[in-house]
Structure 1
């Protein structure tokens, strides 16, 4: 009700100022975007402050040791320098050795939200893609229904039957053998769903899965098996060191009993830090005390996992819709990047709604509707009354919006013009009038002329990586070029024209060669926006590629 009407109102407001753009909002989408925009403003207004830390480098019982001053941050550099002067050339003594045993209980099986968060953190698969993969696994009969908010595994699912079936899979056979000789009692989370249990594998062995489906299946199985494992045991050791009465400490953390860690190790992020053996009174030979100058950091931007976690915490959206809402914000051009950065348009939409329709970015609206839905279920309020109340509220919101349509349209049209100026790749080489802009559609990103539908020129671009205009034209074909930057690689400039002469292979394909990696496929001539190359015919199972070596003329 709210989303379709307010989205239409936004689009009409922009059109009234001579611009065309698909805009949307809703009772969940609005507050979600506001969370990202508010965080962006916190980051932009953040003023870093300098602070200092002291680090001791030395030896203890002939082993290297690193420790930090117990005062973790110093705001006065003079105090830091005074401590360094006082301790220069002096050795330290172990004042205390404290050992603490930490028990890490097994994790519970996944509900949908924790599956999306964990999959993103450990494999980089986005929440929407994780849900899609899980849905396919469910339809294939490999896992239970994934759209659940339960973290509980009832005995009725048949623990032993599932684990016995999983034993036939070489990946999990050792774990299953170990579990089947024990009493099977899974770790249970606090959340429950009356309709469905937590996500679990059915025991049926998958035959042919896509890459994302393999990863999602594996993490679901390992998490399920881990729920039946023993607790892990870790020892936290703290060494208190005194150097001329200045207190330093070294902290070590070691796993002494792996328990369920052994089942879930592929996805664990546990640091093992071993300290030299020590007892009270041992001498620490101090080599140097280092001064580190640092700055306070702004709040971190949300990523796809943390924003979904935040939405769940605030009771915004449902387990099934949160990933779709975040995806919509990307497609509308309101946010960008792996770390969710609000764009000019995203900020302007929030500002405009805040001024003319504040309820559309207010979490209270959704919260009230959710409470009304619960009252309907409890028969404390009728469905017809809730619908009428929301109709009245929406009519008032739309009436005010219509009254200020010109002002709203002007603000959004100005933002659109600024976006186009920043993101313009260049002039369209076909119609010579339009600008080439980066768009986001159902199948990912692409570059298109803004004169569509009169001009339908488009160019393919990579689905991932950071892309920005270069402001240059290709020396070969005079088409605009872009900068592409992938994580861990240098930024490179690439012509967007996949038919550019610089990308055409001038070498005739030689006799087919066997793939040197998988030994099954053959190398075939392929073309991408980077040019021609040889790729394995067994793709996507084998992603081996080879450069084309051009013959000298």
Structure 2
């Protein structure tokens, strides 16, 4: 039995650390928090000074029992959760449930899971930092007060199952207010005029934009004025009035912190905040890279861009080795931490910069590699010299008009050599010009533009705004966004957040009755007070008392004055067209407001409500081709016009509109259960199955459907060692089969008999084929299952049709064909064997009928 017990959060982290510590250490996982406030009651005694009542979580009781037994037999117990408030609170709760005296609770922290960092941490254990614990307790109790008191109130007044939160509701307010700005925005027309010029007698041209007229800034509001200026300036003489040359520098961005990593992963890789954090957790906790398991990046929940001196020096050596001495700045680049940042933390960086992305690519999944590559490049670039550019500004005079042109030429690529962003193709290259040069006009190009409303928040811009306003912490951004989506307060439209009717109504109620709690600056101040508690400058109970006094008064008033929204009649009474009862306001599962009959469930009549500011449906001269009723012109969620039958809901026929405004029959489509690899949305296929690609209903991504042979080739299990290394002997793990299915086994068998279960993320992604399901007509996909690959309907779980792919299919007998014969089903439902290279090879043969027993 080991005489030292180490407790961490996850099994992956435990497995990595155990290999560093060796014998004598028993490393166990507590699986996150083991104690929390009770789920079915408030759990905070306000009268006695906000004393929390903690209970062992139901899912952790078995783990806690095992940890108690191990700790009772051990000489020393080390608590090694993550190095932040949550990790410190987990360690404190573990101390209590294991009944460890304070002097025996050894707390160890490390910013990276490497052999040297872990061993150094265990040589310098400390006690539990109660300031960190109190900051976490204060945050948890604040969230319990707001959530436990506000959520039931909102659920009663709007619709059941809603929630409100201290950070969540303020983030929702930002999204709603941005949508109101967009609705109130009045677009204005403006025009620009660009001159295409060259030096007299030369062919190389450049562009200059009209900026001033008669010494004043020019504003062109309509096409008529633009045309007048073009005609007036066409015959003017063009000459260079001034040339200014300078050198500009582009400094490297700091290494990632949590928020900037989420922003970059969303904009560059299209990862959601939750996906980014999940992948970063995997890279931090440890990955098998051949002969060892190592954490590839430092701790991923941080708001400080600080970098340890050893890491800086290693990165500078790498830059000099890979790029040359010119790319290494004279002094290491140092970046200032934002106000309130936890300076003890480091930026997110590779634990070893010499571990290049390509070196570990074969050990990582595709998404893990993309994120590690992004983190590695950002960190290495942060310690490189600035990029330098030669910038030329040219003023061109044409009578009373003044045109300006700018050219930029790279002198030294600096950090852009690693991080990118130095693409010269986007910069205009100007010819050598001097003041007084005569220029030849080739063309005057007027262009029409319209001012644009402020864009909706994407995940990247919302995280940036939350960070800028000081709302929430790095660890809260991803769960906050997930909650807003799960509660149907917002929806994603082209990767941006649009508030639903439900989200708008909830925000309006909370802002009206809880103006202080919904104020952005107040929420930011509360985050600052929590930071002061962590630093030991503020008492956490006094902070809670000040907050609760005002909140309880607002809550009592809201319970009396807040009016119900759902189930009430609209401003103007509307009668049900089927039974005559009054219609009432309701909310759909997707968060949209509509009118429903008050006689539900006896009467199920519903009626949609027009969006505020949306164009009213306009009756057209076109008739419905199904019932003959007039068609109405409407605008969809994504701003596209379409025709809908005025007899809705009796007739649900809709038609599209071409560019001339003529009705066109919409291509019928069938949704599949196949997820878009870009955004995760559902993909659909044409109803008749004629299309050769799947289309995402959310982001419009198109995915070609393959022949079965191509799909089999793309779903081959990799043989390059990406399945990991054997934890016993260091050999490569390979795919093996047994009667119970697939598993991983050591390639050194029989010398090493180590085995492991096959992780799902190691399996290749499913691939759609051109073969159609004989039950529902949707395309079949090649998937991996417990016993290998098989063909399955893309309509799963609605359609569960599957076809086995034989382990050794017969080769196609046609000369020159490399395909295999597999079982297929024709349109008449008859089974046959066809070539996997169809339609390139159309060879078929009948399936032999199985003889019955005894015949």
TM-score past 0.5 threshold: yes
Aligned equivalent of 2:699: 486
| 1:163-215 deviation digits (Å, cap 9, x = unpaired) | 77xx7xxxx9x964636996784322111633212122122563521222111
Q: Are the aligned partners of 1:97 and 1:237 in contact in 2 as well (CA < 8 Å)?
A: yes
Report the structure, 1 or 2, having the larger helix content.
1
Q: Per-residue deviation at 1:32?
A: 0.9
Match of 1:151 in 2: 305
Match of 1:196 in 2: 345
Displacement, 1:53? Answer: 1.2
Where 2:299 maps in the other structure, the secondary structure is coil
CA distance 1:392–1:469, change in 2 (3 Å)? farther
CA distance in 2 between counterparts of 1:535 and 1:418 reads: 33
- Shift in Å, 1:280: 2.2
Partner of 1:32: 171
The alpha carbon displacement at 1:76 in A equals: 5.9
Instruction: Find the counterpart in structure 1 of residue 192 from structure 2.
Output: 53
Among 505, 509, 514, the alignment partner of 1:357 is: 514
Q: Is the 8 A contact 1:534 1:547 kept in 2?
A: no
Alignment of 1:214 with 2:369, yes or no, is: yes
**1:433-478 deviations in Å (ceiling 9; x for gaps):** 999xxxxxxxxxxxxxxxxxxxxxx9846366697999xx9799xx
In the alignment, what sits opposite 1:543?
Answer: none
Q: Partners of 2:411 and 2:194 in 1: how far apart?
A: 28
**Unaligned stretches of 5+ residues in structure 2:** 1-140, 213-217, 287-294, 570-583, 596-603, 607-670, 690-694, 720-763, 790-835, 845-855
Kept after mapping to 1: 8 A contact 2:154/2:506: no
| 8 A Cα contact 2:503 2:591, kept in partner | no
Aligned equivalents of 1:177, 1:53: Cα separation in 2: 43
Q: Per the alignment, in what secondary structure is the counterpart of residue 230 of structure 2? A: helix
Q: How does 1:409-488 map to 2 (within 5 A)?
A: 410=567, 414=585, 416-417=587-588, 460=673, 462=675, 484-487=697-700
The corresponding residue for 1:531 is 778
Q: Which residue of 2 aligns with 1:336?
A: 491
How far apart are 1:233 and its partner, in Å?
0.4
Deviation at 1:232, TM superposition (A): 0.8
CA contact (8 A) 1:534 1:548 kept: no
CA distance 1:159–1:530, change in 2 (3 Å):
farther
Deviation (angstroms), 1:56: 1.0
Structure 1 pair 531/269, CA: closer, same or farther in 2 (3 Å)? farther
| Closer, same or farther: CA 313–153 of 1 in aligned 2, 3 Å | same
Change (3 A) 1:514 1:253: same
Matching residue of 2:722: none
TM-score, normalised to structure 1's length?
0.74
Match of 1:348 in 2: 505
After TM superposition, give the deviation of residue 125 of structure 1 in Å: 1.8
Residues 378-435 of structure 1: CA deviation (Å, up to 9, x unaligned): 65542222222333333333323433466255579935149577799xxxxxxxx999
Between 85-94 and 48-57, report the one with greater CA deviation. 85-94
> Is the Cα–Cα contact under 8 Å of residues 280 and 371 in structure 2 kept in the other structure?
yes
- Choose from 401, 405, 408 the match for 1:253: 408
Contact 1:42/1:299 (<8 A) preserved:
yes
Q: Go from structure 1 to structure 2 and tell me whether the alpha carbon gap of 1:126 and 1:255 turns closer, same or farther (over 3 Å shift).
A: farther
Conservation of the 8 A alpha-carbon contact between 1:95 and 1:240: yes
In structure 1, what is the Cα distance between the partners aligned to 2:554 and 2:423? 48
Gaps of 5+ in 1: 425-432, 436-457, 477-481, 493-502, 540-545
Paired residue secondary structure (1:97): strand
Q: Distance in 1 between matches of 2:682 and 2:173?
A: 25
Q: Structure 1 49/19 Cα, relative in aligned 2: closer, same or farther at 3 Å?
A: closer
Question: For residues 84-113 of structure 1, what are the alpha-carbon distances to aligned partners after superposition, in whole Å with 9 as ceiling and x for unaligned?
Answer: 222224441122222121011223222222
Report the Cα offset of residue 248 of structure 1: 0.8
1:91-170 mapped onto 2 (5 Å cutoff) = 91-140=237-286, 141-157=295-311, 159-160=313-314
Distance of 2:777 and 2:453 partners within structure 1:
37
Shift of 1:316: 0.4
Larger Rg: 2
One of 515, 531, 537 as aligned partner of 2:713: 515
Aligned to 1:279: 434
Which one has more relative contact order, counting CA pairs under 8 Å at least 6 apart?
Answer: 1
- Whether the aligned pair in 1 keeps the contact of 2:328 and 2:383 (CA below 8 Å) is no
Provide the C-alpha distance between the structure 1 equivalents of 2:410 and 2:467, rounded to a whole number of angstroms. Answer: 32
State the distance in 2 between where 1:536 and 1:91 align. Answer: 69
Kindly indicate whether the alpha-carbon contact (under 8 Å) linking 1:97 and 1:278 is maintained by their aligned counterparts in 2.
yes
CA distance in 2, matches of 1:339, 1:421: 17
- Residue in 2 aligned with 1:63? 204
Q: CA deviation at 1:142?
A: 0.6
Q: Which position in structure 1 is the counterpart of 2:542?
A: 385
Residues 4, 461 of structure 1: CA spacing in aligned structure 2 closer, same or farther, 3 A cutoff? farther
CA distance, structure 1, for counterparts of residue 783 and residue 333 of structure 2 = 44
Query: 1:122 Cα shift?
Result: 2.0
Q: Is the 8 A contact 1:105 1:230 kept in 2?
A: yes
The 1:417–1:360 alpha-carbon spacing in structure 2 relative to 1, beyond 3 Å, is farther
Give me the whole-angstrom Cα distance separating, in 1, the residues matched to 2:203 and 2:184: 49
Is the CA contact (8 Å cut-off) linking 1:52 and 1:75 kept in structure 2?
yes
Q: 2-side partners of 1:335 and 1:52: how far apart? A: 35
3-state secondary structure, aligned to 2:554 = helix
* 1:440 equivalent in structure 2: none
**Residues 535 and 281 of structure 1, relative CA distance in 2, 3 Å threshold:** farther
Residues 311-326 of structure 1 aligned to structure 2 (within 5 Å):
311-326=466-481
Partner residue in 2 for 1:372: 529
State the Cα deviation string for residues 496-531 of structure 1 (Å, max 9, x = none).
xxxxxxx9x9xxx98899628989799988789983
